[in-house]
Amino acid sequence: MSLTATARIVAARNDRLPVLDSSGALALRRTRAAGPYTRVTRVGVMSAPLNGDRLVVEAEACDGARLHVDSAAATVALPGCRPGPARYDVTLTVGDDAELRWLPKQLISARGSELRMHTRVELAATARLVLREEQVLGRHGEETGSLANRLTVHRVGRLLLDQELAYGPAAPPGWDGPTGLAGHRAVGQLLVVDPEFDEHSAEPRRLADTAVLTPLAGPAVLVTALAPDALILRRLLDTALTELTTAVPCGRR
């Protein structure tokens, strides 16, 4: 029998958290935050997702809210004994003058697992977003499972970003070749959306040998990085985040 688990977060102004609801493998806890954020942390209570499982997370930062969501440990996709891929669906909504920092730890695709993940984001005109995704293909010394990861972002009802990446045995040929990951086993992206980029746009550039910054058609930038392991990947993305947030005028924050 497959597992279904749902978690829902709603943050409001003045550090209020009117909704914090979770079940099964998705356990949420309010934790101490630095700065003006309401912080919620996902903690592990059981192994998930396994093949056939369905996980659903919904997080909303209402108008004027500041929400920071992270996780206590990495998420490991495992094969289990059920048929069919696991699904992990995330929906993020950010209202006017609100900010959501979505910073979970990495997702590890273990050998034999099959996971389809889709993150959907809806942003208001003055919303701000920091979203980090990290995938590690296989645990130490093992081959990767199959992973398909899609990110769809709308701002004021208009499409800002829609991309899908696939790795492992079920992915199209060439995913690990010279025009794909080229042997790297950690891949990540950092999306920063801020209305200030309308006036202070970032220039496209290479941040490292395997990391690039790309401005989007909107007040947003996307950083994509490859690395041999999770530690180096995190350093690349953290450096990029520091650079991007300090580039925004101090009075804005």
Chunked into runs of 10 residues, the chain (253 residues) has average pLDDT values of 88 96 90 91 83 94 98 92 89 98 96 96 98 95 94 97 94 88 94 91 89 94 96 95 72 42
Identify the DSSP state of 14. T
Residue 26 near residue 75, CB atoms below 8 Å: no
**Contacts of residue 253, Cβ cutoff 8 Å, sequence gap at least 6:** 245
**Contacts of residue 242, Cβ cutoff 8 Å, sequence gap at least 6:** none
Residue 66 near residue 36, CB atoms below 8 Å: yes
The sign one gets for the Cα dihedral 132, 168, 23, 6 is positive
Q: State how far the Cα of 252 lies from the Cα of 243, in Å rounded to an integer.
A: 15
Contacts 24+ apart (CB under 8 A), 242-245: 243/207, 244/190, 244/192, 244/202, 245/130, 245/192
Residue 199 near residue 161, CB atoms below 8 Å: no
Measuring CA to CA, which residue among 220, 151, 208, 216 is closest to residue 184? 208
Residue 49: is the preceding peptide bond cis (ω within 30°)?
Answer: yes
Q: State how far the Cα of 230 lies from the Cα of 187, in Å rounded to an integer.
A: 8
AA letter at 116: R
**Contacts of residue 156, Cβ cutoff 8 Å, sequence gap at least 6:** 123, 124, 125
Q: State how far the Cα of 245 lies from the Cα of 248, in Å rounded to an integer.
A: 6
For residue 26, give both structure tokens: 């998705």
Tell me if residue 141 falls in helix, strand or coil.
coil
**Contacts of residue 237, Cβ cutoff 8 Å, sequence gap at least 6:** 132, 134, 188, 190, 223, 225
